[in-house]
Chain A
Amino acid sequence: MRLYAGIDIGSCTTKAVVIDQEGNMVGSHVRRSGINYQEAAREALDIAFGGRGWDGIAIISTGYGRHSIDFVSEAKTEIACHARGGFAHVPQAMTLVDIGGQDSKVIKLDDQGHRIDFKMNRKCAAGTGTFIEEIAAKLDLPLDLLDGMARKAQKRVKIGSYCTVFASTEILALIRAGVSPEELVRGMFESVVDRVMEMVPIADLVLLCGGVVQYNPIVADIFKARISGEVIVPPHPQLTGAYGAALFARELVG
């Protein structure tokens, strides 16, 4: 079986995806990126290949660490790879939203899958996974409880700051005002969606990708409530970039 791989070295996690000639995902792995990207990438690929060995296999790297590893065939931006991976899942004109650890991306695709525009968040981490982790730490809440808590919120509280530090201060003020932890967590997720909606007008079909949506499906529900178009979450939203990279690897070989 001929195999191809994509490795997405993000600011928080490294994702490896292995596909076959038909584009079926035959292996994957996600781990923390840590500080040694080479090691993280090698280990993720080893596990994704299931111990089969991957010498001579076409691999495309993407993500912030894409230029930091020396054993891949080529590097492509996460914008390109998300677009490629997302369009493979939903081959229509759409807006792809990726909420990652360090940045959020909004990519507009035409009906051929060509990127016609893209935007990334500004330098502040508000609206990203790092923001969620920071607020959870401030509230002393485990990350895996957040989605469930947010669903129990009775009313919406607004966290308006587009600076993570100011948002934390806002949350302290809300705690003093007696807002429940459930409402704060819900407000935090709403704020993540707000930050994305500020980047470009979004009304059409939306494909939601990235780790934040994978672990917190409520983000997709908030999107659905906000926009008129359809909102789709692929089966492995966190792997969209790595999957796109693997598809590029397949094209590279031809």
Chain B
Amino acid sequence: MEEIKRVEIKAAKQLRALMAQYFLEMDEAVKTKSKKIAWCSSVGPAELAQSFGFLLYYPENHAAMLGANRTASDYIPIANAHGYSPEICSYLTSDIGAYLKGETPLTKAYGIQKIPKPDVLLYNTNQCREVYDWMSYYAREFKVPILGVNTPRTQREVREDVVKAAAAQLEEMVPALEEVAGRPFDIDEFRQSLAISLECSQLWEAVLDTALARPCPITFFDACVHMGPAVVMRGRKEPNDYYRILLAELKERVDQGIAAVPGERHRFYWEGMPIWGKLRSLSELFSRLKSCVMVSTYCNSWVFSDFDPKDPFQSMARAYCSIFIGQDDTFKENYIADTVERFGLDGILYHDAKCCPNNTNNRYGMANRLRERLGIPYLVINGDLNDLRCFSEEQTVTNGEAFVEQIEELQ
């Protein structure tokens, strides 16, 4: 098989340094008790916690690391044996399994022996109920407060009364956060954290928008790695500096015509979660097929355009109620259709993640509806975010190759 030589993204070096800094700083804070730690769901109320000076740790990020280094499959059975079904979120089961075994990928990556013990746990059910179940487990283990926002899902529209209710829940968290943090709430700190996070979101969106270029300078698989700082450090200045560097490099690649997939012939959408343990092999498969998997709702999920420092509680509530995963299929369908047209895509890949119905969008006929509407084919890849027992490499390769053959035949 032909080997594809890709031009690597140079900023990856700064990315690795930044992620190391993030984890080492937290480890140091735990050891010296200099700062308190809040665990937060990935689209939870990060900026509010940030304003109290908490360092934020994200179990989902930790779980993605377990997936990416392919140790998740060792830990999932441990959680299964403790009553957490193999049918539920494999982020949750792999993370709890690793906790039960007393292991973390942070040890190999950064020499950190233990995950940081939380002082408070924060969640938002905007993405799924599992984040609450997950945090509840740790609330029982560590006997620390759990605070959160309960957001309705499958929304036909983001109604003002829903936003108000979410904002009220955010405000209700303030006294409890003051108590854990040991300091009073400062709305100006909150406004500043939100302003910095908004800038991060805008920079990340600009990074993703470089994919409009032909050839595209960055793949979905690259973006899954480079999104790390926007997930775990939003509300701080460091990711913004990083994304300025990455954006400049990607613009340079566009100017010079450097393709993420050399000889790009096809442009695909990835709908659903990444298959963390197979990012590299999938990237290589589609590169070999001269197909750039370049746009996704997953990576776009950390774009929060509604943040407004002038109206921090309401705007934060609106932003977190408006994320893609919380909307109904009509919204999702329109969103995907608009994105396909905007980026000029030839096909849609749906990842049917065995354990993640919330982030799997091909199960209620949407794939067929969008095929009719857009006139482009789709492929369903059966897999899972972390549980590789649900993924068949052979079937995926055959399906991927046949999908591209089909497109080329019709062209």
Seen from chain A, the residues whose Cβ lies within 8 Å of a Cβ on chain B are 64, 67, 76-80, 103, 114-118, 120, 122-123
Docked Cα-Cα span, A64 to B406, in Å, equals: 18
A/B interface sample: 20 pairs, CB < 8 A: A76-B405, A77-B398, A77-B401, A78-B398, A78-B402, A80-B402, A80-B405, A114-B409, A115-B402, A115-B405, A115-B406, A116-B406, A116-B410, A117-B377, A117-B406, A118-B402, A118-B406, A120-B399, A122-B382, A123-B395
Q: B1 within 8 Å of A by Cβ?
A: yes
Query: B residues within 8 A CB of A77?
Result: 398, 401-402, 405
Interface: B394 (CB within 8 A): yes
Q: Does B392 contact A (CB under 8 A)?
A: yes
Shortest B354–chain A CB gap in Å is: 10
A114 pairs with B382, CB closer than 8 A: no
What band does the interface of chain B fall in when counting residues whose beta carbon is under 8 Å from A? 10 to 19
A67-B1, A77-B401 are known contacts. Are A120 and B406 too (CB-CB below 8 A)? no
CB nearest to B405 among chain A residues: A80
Contacts of B406 in A (CB 8 A): 79, 114-118
Other contacts beyond A77-B398, A79-B406: 10, CB < 8 A: A67-B1, A77-B401, A77-B405, A79-B398, A103-B395, A116-B406, A116-B410, A117-B377, A117-B406, A118-B406
Interface contacts (Cβ under 8 Å), in number, total 41
**A-B interface, 6 closest residue pairs, ranked by CB to CB distance from nearest:** A79-B402, A77-B402, A115-B406, A77-B401, A80-B405, A123-B392
Known contacts A76-B405, A118-B406: does B398 contact A64 (CB below 8 Å)? yes
Provide the residues of chain B in CB contact with A79, threshold 8 Å.
Answer: 398, 402, 405-406
The residue of chain A having its C-beta at the shortest distance from the C-beta of B409 within the complex is A114
Nearest chain B residue, comparing its CB with the CB of A108: B406
- Please, which residues of chain B bring their CB within 8 A of the CB of A64? 394, 398
Q: In angstroms, how far is the closest chain A Cβ from the Cβ of B90? A: 16
Which residues of chain A come closer than 8 Å to B394, judged between CB atoms? 64
When chains A and B are docked, how far (Å) is the Cα of A123 from the Cα of B377?
A: 22
Chain B residues within an 8 Å CB radius of A118: 402, 406
Closest to B382 in A: A122
Chain A residues whose CB sits within 8 angstroms of the CB of B392 once the complex forms: 123
Neighbouring B residues of A80 by C-beta, 8 Å? 402, 405, 409
Q: Which of B372-395 contact A (CB under 8 A)?
A: 377, 382, 390, 392, 394-395
Q: Which residues of A contact B409 (CB under 8 A)?
A: 80, 114-115
Residues of B within 8 A of A123 (CB): 382, 390, 392, 395
Q: What's the minimum C-beta distance from B391 to chain A, rounded to whole angstroms?
A: 8
Q: How far is the CB of B344 from chain A (nearest CB, A)?
A: 21
Q: How far is the CA of A123 from the CA of B352 in the complex (A)?
A: 12
Complex: A39 Cα to B409 Cα, angstroms: 32
Cα–Cα distance between A103 and B394 once the two chains are bound (Å): 11
CA gap between A80 and B402 in the complex, in Å: 7
**What residues of chain A lie closer than 8 Å to B390, measured between beta carbons?**
123
| Closest CB in chain A relative to B77 CB, distance in Å | 18
Q: Which residue of B lies closest to A78 (CB)?
A: B398
Shortest CB-to-CB span from A119 to chain B, Å, is 8
Residues from chain B with Cβ under 8 Å of A76 in the complex: 405
Q: By the criterion CB–CB under 8 Å, are B410 and A114 in contact?
A: yes
A67 to B405, CA, bound (A): 16
Complex-state Cα separation, A116 to B398, whole angstroms: 16
Shortest Cβ gap from B291 to chain A (Å)? 14
A120 to B406, CA, bound (A): 14
Q: Is the CB of B1 within 8 A of A120?
A: no
Q: Quick one: which of A116, A117, A120 contacts B395, CB cutoff 8 A?
A: A120
Query: How far in angstroms is the closest Cβ of chain A from B87?
Result: 14
CA distance A80 to B403 in the complex (A): 10
- How far apart sit A120 and B382, CA to CA, in the bound complex (Å)? 11
Residues of chain B within 8 A (CB-CB) of A116 are 377, 406, 410
Measured between beta carbons, the chain B residues less than 8 angstroms from A122 are 382
Contacts of B410 in A (CB 8 A): 114-116
List the B residue with the shortest CB-CB distance to A113.
B409
Q: Which residues of A contact B405 (CB under 8 A)?
A: 76-77, 79-80, 115
Smallest CB–CB gap between A72 and chain B, Å?
Answer: 12
Q: How far is the CB of B394 from chain A (nearest CB, A)?
A: 6
Q: In chain A, what residue has the closest Cβ to B392?
A: A123
- Measured in the bound complex, the distance between the Cα atoms of B399 and A122 in whole Å is 11
Chain A positions within 8 Å of B1 at CB level: 67
Min Cβ gap A198→B in Å is 14
Report the bound CA distance from A76 to B397 in whole Å: 12
Complex Cα–Cα for A143 and B54 (A):
67
Q: How far is the CA of A123 from the CA of B380 in the complex (A)?
A: 13
Q: Which of A64, A78, A122 has the most CB of B within 10 A?
A: A122
Shortest CB distance B389–A (Å): 10
Q: Tell me the complex Cα distance, A79–B401, Å.
A: 9
Q: Give the docked Cα–Cα distance between A64 and B410 (Å).
A: 24
Residues of B within 8 A of A78 (CB): 398, 402
Q: Give Cα A105–Cα B41 distance, bound, in whole angstroms.
A: 40
